[in-house]
Amino acid sequence: MAGLELRNPTMNAAGVLGISAPLLKRIYEGGAGAVVTKSLGGPQRMGHSNPTLVSVEGGALNAMGLPNPGAEYFVEMIRELKGDGVPVVASFFGGSIEEFRDVALVLSEAGVDALEVNVSCPNVAEEMGMLGADPMNTEKVTEAVKEVAKSPVIVKLSPNVTDICEIARAAERGGADAITAVNTLKGLAVDADLRRPILTNVTGGLSGPALKPVALRCVWEIYEAVEIPIIGCGGISNWRDAVEYLLSGATAVEIGTAAMDGGFDIYGKIAEGIREYLVENGFKEVKDIVGLAHGG
Amino acid sequence: MAGLELRNPTMNAAGVLGISAPLLKRIYEGGAGAVVTKSLGGPQRMGHSNPTLVSVEGGALNAMGLPNPGAEYFVEMIRELKGDGVPVVASFFGGSIEEFRDVALVLSEAGVDALEVNVSCPNVAEEMGMLGADPMNTEKVTEAVKEVAKSPVIVKLSPNVTDICEIARAAERGGADAITAVNTLKGLAVDADLRRPILTNVTGGLSGPALKPVALRCVWEIYEAVEIPIIGCGGISNWRDAVEYLLSGATAVEIGTAAMDGGFDIYGKIAEGIREYLVENGFKEVKDIVGLAHGG
Amino acid sequence: MSDWRTEAEAMRVVRLTKVKEEAGDMRSLHFADERCSEGVPGQYVMIWNPAAEEVPMSLASIGEDGNVSVVVRPVGESTEALCGMSAGDKIGLRGPFGNGYVVQGSSPLLVAGGTGAASLRPLAEEMVAEGLKPTFILGARSKDQLLMTESLVSLLGENLLTTTDDGSHGYRGYASTYADQLMKEKKYDMIYTCGPEIMMAAVFQVAEERGIPMQASLDRYIKCAVGLCGSCGLGPYRVCKDGPVFSSEQLREVRNEFGKSRMDPSGRAIKVDH
Amino acid sequence: MSDWRTEAEAMRVVRLTKVKEEAGDMRSLHFADERCSEGVPGQYVMIWNPAAEEVPMSLASIGEDGNVSVVVRPVGESTEALCGMSAGDKIGLRGPFGNGYVVQGSSPLLVAGGTGAASLRPLAEEMVAEGLKPTFILGARSKDQLLMTESLVSLLGENLLTTTDDGSHGYRGYASTYADQLMKEKKYDMIYTCGPEIMMAAVFQVAEERGIPMQASLDRYIKCAVGLCGSCGLGPYRVCKDGPVFSSEQLREVRNEFGKSRMDPSGRAIKVDH
Ligand SMILES: Cc1cc2nc3c(=O)[nH]c(=O)nc-3n(C[C@H](O)[C@H](O)[C@H](O)COP(=O)(O)OP(=O)(O)OC[C@H]3O[C@@H](n4cnc5c(N)ncnc54)[C@H](O)[C@@H]3O)c2cc1C
Ligand SMILES: Cc1cc2nc3c(=O)[nH]c(=O)nc-3n(C[C@H](O)[C@H](O)[C@H](O)COP(=O)(O)OP(=O)(O)OC[C@H]3O[C@@H](n4cnc5c(N)ncnc54)[C@H](O)[C@@H]3O)c2cc1C
Ligand SMILES: Cc1cc2nc3c(=O)[nH]c(=O)nc-3n(C[C@H](O)[C@H](O)[C@H](O)COP(=O)(O)O)c2cc1C
Ligand SMILES: Cc1cc2nc3c(=O)[nH]c(=O)nc-3n(C[C@H](O)[C@H](O)[C@H](O)COP(=O)(O)O)c2cc1C
Ligand code: FES
Ligand code: FES
């Protein structure tokens, strides 16, 4: 995947449990092919105050507000993980193109295996503007990150756009080595008794099975729009979901909300399910089925 | 609602059962405040071939392809309904601004109580281009329809856009009397065994509970962006959902996919549930709670 | 969270276990599916050869062991594609959908025309299991088109009566005329019918004349099968969900459509011609 | 489709049925909630006064009749907002979450500090109902801070032992020292503890010295409560889901964090200071 050799195509989704080295290590021990950190910024952020997550039918709505200890602080965690032989993808964000570059440099020097540029968090848009809604900005950020990156650069896109292919092509032009599709859909939960929004941030990001059809469609469309590999993300709960993503054009998958029910071994279970699917259907490796549904 | 006095704020969603006068009458008898026709075009359309609908977790994915007998043909159905005292909203679409105007004229002369302009169907975009993704086109279409309309004009928006407020404001500028938010989210279902998309049209529109958080967020945002009333639509399955829409800024609601489980009496049940909520919470009428959650 | 793949409305994929030649160029398609095996006579599935369209087919056998089947008459692209399938091939499945027949009364008459026998056979089985002795009229154009005679004879013995338009087997003439004749001889208290609509309308007429209640399984254009799109509209009813089986009362309500007009896929009324 | 509002992770809204003054300026908040009444001792809810933040609180009573309560010590904005509520006010609820205590062995010692008594009381009740005779050390800074003494005395009689830092009631000194002393006198086979982490760490040390297994309910920064965000991380564990109750084995695994460091909301390590 984008120059990386992973033992299997599963990862945790950014922001899901990636706040410390021991938790990320447990995800790896749970069977993931690589682990993804919480999105890291320059300065430390405390995130939004509670309620920050509530389940809705078919999924969860969250507005954590990108809490993170700051990229510099996290360097040691990355070193610890690398010391234990865990492949690490560092997710990160910035408030400006310069910050994106600076953070990328810090993380890159810490020795991560790949960088995942988060231009798509729906929960801090008012503070920082959702860069990922604009092709020009996406291209510029990608370029800036590529300038300093020593490892592959993955750009994570938002589904909250009119034409995701346009943004994917911008990332590709900017030099992205891969694309992660997608981040959460912007949603809202209101309580009829309290007569107010449930989340402190008012809106939040919809993840889980409810997101799956939209995310799968995004992967499908991006696969037809760019040449670089795609990491599928959104509502994957079992190996069947994961295979659907691979068939639609993803080379690997990230799994987030399903860890709520499934726990840490969900990564291994899904990886094993994919393997069995390949065997039963006479395929040798994951890449043999990537995008296969487009042929039908 | 936009100059209409309805016995209650519930309607069926466009395309859901609105293909014939007797079915629409049964919806009215089931308790709806008004009924909405299937989206009508100029020429007759057969729609896409099966599979055209499949359920996914938390909702349904459909790509009917706007089958309809043509607006002229449907005039008689409208007359029949009006003869029976049923308030009728005619949903319609066109392949060009001229067709939008022509169809609006036909339906308007048939005596409908309101026109709902469908600029947002995700399933025929390739054939006709999704007008509703572009503010300029939305404004022009709305203007053209307003020129010929004798009754209020409602513009139905798509959630598949980067900034729905921009489109809502364009509709308002074009003279829209109300906005329906929203149509379906563009999604995809792939089968791992068949290794192909399930729907003949490949992509389809996601409706039902999975859509609700996104649709509710759209209503919330539009309420803060325009002055005209909003009809909320997306995943409403019970009175609580409906009340959440009213509190978020909707003046009325449309209910579609829930008719799959609930049948025709779901409209009456939801209307009754809203009424009880108002009484229990000391409110007099629906308009007393419209947008109330914005105050919190 | 619930596993939606077990919901009737989701697409399931199964392999055909057997494809059998039936009368004429009809084929029975056999497969194992737990949900279907919990279905009731009169219900249908949406069945999909992925090379063509998904179409409605009545459950023609409902085994408690999970094995079920449908009987397909090749009349167009999708039915031909289904008839061309072999054991081991994959089909898509939704359902079973619809209401099914309700066993009422003690002296039932079943009138089947063409593939209508498909949905009436499991009903007859249910009746026999409940100790009833249904009379079963099996009609077709000619002898070689008579469906599933073997299994019906072994189930019903001499209560299986055949009729062909050309007289090549059994009674010569319309099933409705034959039914009328039988009604003179014996007092039936419920008629069940499935077949060409013109035939069913004729049966309904004689049933009405004699004041005998009826249940008829109707055929309209099924798209969504879950009661949302309206394409199967029959008066105020959705054939896919409120039907496909309708009672005499309901048939009276829709008398200006039943046997006369139906909607084409666009929603325009066209003539019922068979 | 499933009614997600009944899921633990969805926000439910209920009215407080009673708010009672407890020792010091603590308050017990009572409400009826079916899911909570099916909870087990050691589990917690996310409770929300909509004027402030949603925070974790242990179930302090778990009535089979659906009535439950939490005991809140006002230490900051949200806990003060909760303590200021009255019967009839609406709260938001998610949960119950977490694993809860596991009753093991025949001779249990419970060591509670401060509001830690909240989660240990329903455990003691369960034990008594099962015929065990738990020893319960209730510790506080001073007499007026001793929580729920009345109900604990009536439940446990002379097996309720108190200790205060200032000696104003019962034993004078730390609960851990007192526990150590009791362990000399009697052979306990499981220790349960909830309270300030420094206290629990001290109890753990004496338990380890004597080779007695322990279950401790830990406190970390809870945001999502469903095991997704990681903010409650304790070594490889999520306090919100893998905990809040941890065994001796697990405590050994996280010995360089337990009693020493925790993450602030940003994920930076800070000192455990109480
Ligand atoms: C409840 C129900 C049960 C049925 N059970 C059986 C059965 O057990 N065995 C059997 O052989 N046939 C059955 N049919 C009829 C069968 O569905 C049609 O023959 C089939 O759909 C034709 O498809 P085609 O592509 O081969 O033909 P086409 O060439 O597409 O059309 C031939 C005829 O079939 C009709 N048709 C096409 N698609 C549909 C559709 N989606 N729904 C309804 N009608 C359609 C057309 O209107 C036309 O009249 C049943 C129909 C219904 C509604
Ligand atoms: C599993 C568990 C069970 C608990 N049970 C009880 C109980 O029964 N009774 C009781 O009085 N207290 C209990 N607490 C502690 C209680 O949650 C905190 O006192 C409360 O969150 C403080 O919020 P605040 O806004 O009033 O204080 P703040 O001024 O915000 O902070 C005071 C302290 O509380 C911590 N805190 C704030 N928010 C949280 C949070 N979301 N999660 C964890 N800690 C937080 C802060 O880090 C700080 O140390 C429990 C905590 C946990 C983790
Ligand atoms: C609690 C939570 C926190 C998240 N934090 C981040 C984040 O920091 N950065 C990011 O790019 N995505 C974040 N996401 C989005 C996920 O990475 C993922 O894109 C989304 O949840 C869809 O996948 P899922 O349905 O498998 O959860 C977060 C999601 C959740 C549920
Ligand atoms: C079967 C089906 C057909 C639909 N046809 C139309 C249509 O013709 N015109 C339109 O504007 N919306 C159409 N829609 C979208 C609905 O009107 C509605 O916007 C959407 O389903 C969300 O509401 P729901 O979740 O309550 O179903 C259709 C939806 C379904 C499920
Ligand atoms: S086929 Fe769609 S409503 Fe019956
Ligand atoms: S609080 Fe989010 S993982 Fe524990």
pLDDT of residue D245: 98
Contact C214, C190 (CB under 8 A): yes
End-to-end CA gap in chain A = 24
In terms of DSSP bridges, do strands D90-97 and D44-48 run parallel, antiparallel, or are they unpaired?
antiparallel
C-alpha span between D51 and D48 (Å, rounded): 8
pLDDT of residue C167: 87
| A contact residues 147-166, partner B, Cβ 8 Å cutoff | 160-163
Dihedral angle sign, alpha carbons of residues C69, C70, C73, C79:
negative
What percent of chain B is modeled with pLDDT above 90? 89
Beta carbons within 10 angstroms of residue D248's beta carbon: 18
Ligand 2 centroid to Cα of residue A19, in Å, is 20
Of D27, D35, D84, residue with least CA distance to D62 = D35
- What are the boundaries of each domain within chain D? 7-97, 108-271
Q: Which residues of D touch A260 (CB under 8 A)?
A: 9, 226-228
Asked if D1 lies within 8 A of B240 by C-beta distance, the reply is no
Active site residues of A: 121
Of D136, D119, D33, D32, residue with least CA distance to D72 = D119
Show which subunits contact D, needing at least 3 CB pairs below 8 angstroms.
Answer: A, B, C
C1 touches chain D (CB under 8 A): yes
pLDDT of residue A132 exceeding 80:
no
Q: Provide CATH code, domain B10-47+64-186+208-294.
A: 3.20.20.70
A36 touches chain B (CB under 8 A): no
| B contact residues 192-211, partner A, Cβ 8 Å cutoff | 192, 194-197, 202-204, 206, 209-211
pLDDT of residue A1 exceeding 70:
no
Contact B45, B103 (CB under 8 A): no
Place of tokens 């995800």: A27
Residues 6 or more apart from C138 whose CB is under 8 A from it?
A: C112, C117, C146, C147, C149, C152, C160, C161, C162, C163, C170
pLDDT of residue B131: 74
Burial tier of C23 (Cβ tally within 10 Å: 0-12, 13-18, 19+): buried
Query: In which band, very low, low, confident or very high, does the pLDDT at D1 lie, cut at 50, 70 and 90?
Result: very low
Spacing of C-alpha C64 from chain mean position: 20
> What six digits make up the tokens of A94?
């910035």
pTM listed for this prediction:
0.96
> Is domain D108-271 annotated with CATH 3.40.50.80?
yes
What is the dihedral angle through the alpha carbons of D246, D248, D253, D257, rounded to the nearest 10 degrees?
70
Q: Which amino acid is at D131?
A: G
What is the dihedral angle through the alpha carbons of D166, D168, D174, D180, rounded to the nearest 10 degrees?
140
pLDDT of residue C151 exceeding 70:
yes
Which tens digits make up the pLDDT trace of D233-268? 999 999 999 999 999 999 999 999 999 999 999 999
B137 touches chain A (CB under 8 A): no
pLDDT of residue A127 exceeding 70:
no
Average pLDDT over residues A89-109: 94
Beta-bridge partner residues of B69: none
Beta strands in B103-237 (DSSP E): 114-118, 153-157, 178-181, 185-188, 190-191, 196-197, 203-207, 230-233
DSSP track, A104-163: HHHHHHTT-SEEEEE---TTSHHHH--GGG-HHHHHHHHHHHHHH-SS-EEEEEPS-SS-
Find the CB nearest C267 among B60, B67, B256.
B67
Ligand 4 centroid to Cα of residue D225, in Å, is 36
Query: Ligand 5: does its nearest atom lie under 6 Å from the Cβ of C223?
Result: yes
Cis peptide before B51 (omega within 30 of 0): yes
C-alpha span between B73 and C270 (Å, rounded): 13
Give C7-97's CATH code, choosing from 3.40.50.620, 2.40.30.10, 2.30.30.240, 3.30.1330.60: 2.40.30.10
Helix/strand/coil for D129 = helix
Ligand 2 pocket, residues with Cβ under 6 angstroms = A 50; D 44, 53, 55-58, 70-73, 75-79, 115, 118, 219-222, 244
The closest-lying atom of ligand 6 relative to the alpha carbon of residue D229 is: 2
Of A129, A133, A154, A131, residue with least CA distance to A141 = A131
End-to-end CA gap in chain B = 24
Q: Which residues of D touch A16 (CB under 8 A)?
A: 228-230
* Cα A59–Cα A64–Cα A70 angle in degrees, nearest 5: 140
Asked if C223 lies within 8 A of B50 by C-beta distance, the reply is yes
pLDDT of residue B96 exceeding 50:
yes
What percent of chain C is modeled with pLDDT above 70? 98
Average pLDDT over residues B287-294: 96
pLDDT of residue C1 exceeding 50:
no
Query: Ligand 5: does its nearest atom lie under 6 Å from the Cβ of C102?
Result: no
Asked if B237 lies within 8 A of D1 by C-beta distance, the reply is yes
Nearest CA to ligand 2 atom 28: D76
The closest-lying atom of ligand 3 relative to the alpha carbon of residue A236 is: 26
Show which subunits contact B, needing at least 3 CB pairs below 8 angstroms.
Answer: A, C, D
C-alpha span between B143 and B135 (Å, rounded): 12
C-alpha span between B216 and B210 (Å, rounded): 11
Q: Which ligand is nearest to the CA of C196?
A: 1
Helix/strand/coil for B174 = coil
Helices (H), D84-220: 117-129, 149-156, 175-185, 197-210
Q: How many beta-carbon pairs under 8 angstroms link A with B?
A: 137
* pLDDT averaged over every residue in chain B: 94
What's A58-107 look like in SS3? CEEEECCCCCECCHHHHHHHHHHHHHCCCCEEEEECCCCHHHHHHHHHHH
Contact B213, B190 (CB under 8 A): no
Place of tokens 């899901």: A16
C-alpha span between C240 and D128 (Å, rounded): 59
Which tens digits make up the pLDDT trace of D211-229? 999 999 999 999 999 999 9
Helices (H), chain D: 34-37, 77-83, 117-129, 149-156, 175-185, 197-210, 248-253
pLDDT of residue B121: 65
ipTM of this complex prediction, to 2 decimal places: 0.95
In degrees and rounded to multiples of 5, residue A162 shows phi and psi of -70, -40
Which tens digits make up the pLDDT trace of B143-174? 999 999 999 999 999 999 999 999 999 999 99
Instruction: Name the residue in chain D with its Cα closest to that of C9.
Output: D1
What percent of chain A is modeled with pLDDT above 90? 89
* Cα C216–Cα C221–Cα C222 angle in degrees, nearest 5: 90
Query: Ligand 6: does its nearest atom lie under 6 Å from the Cβ of D263?
Result: no
Contact C103, C125 (CB under 8 A): no
Asked if D90 lies within 8 A of A70 by C-beta distance, the reply is no
- Report how far apart, in Å, the C-alpha atoms of C14 and of each of A278, B17, B104, C46, C95 are: 18, 31, 47, 13, 13
Contact D162, D149 (CB under 8 A): yes
C-alpha span between D259 and D274 (Å, rounded): 8
Closest chain D C-alpha to B207 CA, distance in angstroms: 13
Closest chain C C-alpha to D1 CA, distance in angstroms: 8
Closest chain A C-alpha to B115 CA, distance in angstroms: 25
Least confident interval from B169-173, C143-147, D100-104, D217-221: C143-147
C-alpha span between D252 and D262 (Å, rounded): 16
Instruction: Name the residue in chain B with its Cα closest to that of D1.
Output: B58
pLDDT of residue D2: 41
Ligand 1 centroid to Cα of residue C79, in Å, is 8
Show which subunits contact A, needing at least 3 CB pairs below 8 angstroms.
Answer: B, C, D
D3 touches chain C (CB under 8 A): no
* Cα A90–Cα A94–Cα A98 angle in degrees, nearest 5: 110
Average pLDDT over residues C5-25: 89
Place of tokens 């409602």: B154
Of D172, D251, D173, residue with least CA distance to D216 = D251
pLDDT of residue A123 exceeding 60:
no
- What are the boundaries of each domain within chain A? 10-47+64-186+208-294
Spacing of C-alpha C145 from chain mean position: 16
Closest chain A C-alpha to D48 CA, distance in angstroms: 8
Contact D193, D219 (CB under 8 A): no
Which tens digits make up the pLDDT trace of B171-182? 999 999 999 999
Q: How many beta-carbon pairs under 8 angstroms link B with C?
A: 129
Query: In which band, very low, low, confident or very high, does the pLDDT at A226 lie, cut at 50, 70 and 90?
Result: very high
